[in-house]
Each structure stands twice: as C-alpha cells, then as structure tokens.
Copies of this chain bind each other. A is one copy, B any other.
C-alpha cells in the first residue's frame, strides 16, 4: 500500500537554486521504484493553468493557489506530486500546507542570490539586472524563506545528487515512497 500514499513535495527557492535539477533526479528515482508521480513545475502551470497572469504579488498568489488546488486533488487520491515553482511568499505556501495537512512536505532549496546569479542558467538574472525583467524574485521582488520546512537542501554545499538523496531518504523513512528494491 506504500505506493498509494499521496503527498506533495513542495519545493521553494530562488530561480536557479536547483529545484528543476533536483526534481529531475527525483523523477528518475521514483519511476525506478514504480511510484506514480506528477510534476507541476512553474512553466507547465503557467502554460496550462495560468496563462495571462503576470508576476505581481496578486498574480503570483493566484498562480500558487492553482498549483495547490491541483496538487491537493492529486495527492488526496494517492498520487505523489512534486511542485517546483519559486513560490516566494510564505503566507501562500502556508495556505497550501493548510489544505494538504500531513501530505504537504515543504522542501527549501537554499542558495544565495549571488550563487544563483553566478549560475544564471537561463540568463534571467542578467535580464533582471538590466531591467528587462521587472519583479524578479531575489533582485527586484522579495523571497521569503520558509521558517520550518520539512526538508532543507543547500545547493551551494551539496551536489544535486546529494540533495536528491537526502529527500529520497526522508520520503522513504516516513513511508511516503516504497523502499528501493536491491538490484
């Protein structure tokens, strides 16, 4: 029955902190364990649920509420979900926690703005600095780190593989995912 236990692994962290990289590693690991899984990352959601919304506090909140609505529908039916949006505001993340209760696992992907900006894999920080992108989290818009997340990974100190392993261990210990089969 372990594979029937729905949960929502809710990543939060700056752009470039490593949410997507870690998510991809987790997807591979959970597939290997034959677990169901859906990923709601920022881009998928903005395309399918929130097209037309901008990046004001109000629009960001609506976007995150929609992610939470869908994550709740899935997880309460036993489907594990990973959300990988920046989700910068504490109050809305706490709203999602309130909806999902014990199914909600907040995973803070910690990395300084400086480190994320140095990586700048998508070139977004450069655009934020030049003013081409307004309201960019960490540069011209606030990021509120979680106060007591279930998991914190620090991608300045750990490799993405190490971060992913830490999360897998957490999920396994609490029976959210089936134990790995020895191969």
Contacts and interface: CB of A to CB of B under 8 A. Distances in A.
Interface of A: 36, 38, 48-49, 51, 62, 65-66, 69-70, 73-74, 77-79
User: Which of A66, A69, A77, A78: most chain B Cβ within 10 A?
Assistant: A77
Nearest to A81: B73
A66 B49 CA distance: 6
A79 B36 CA distance: 12
Contact of A74 (B48, B49, B73): B73
A178 B51 CA distance: 38
Contacts of A73: 38, 70, 73-74
A77 B69 CA distance: 17
Contacts of A79: 74, 77, 79
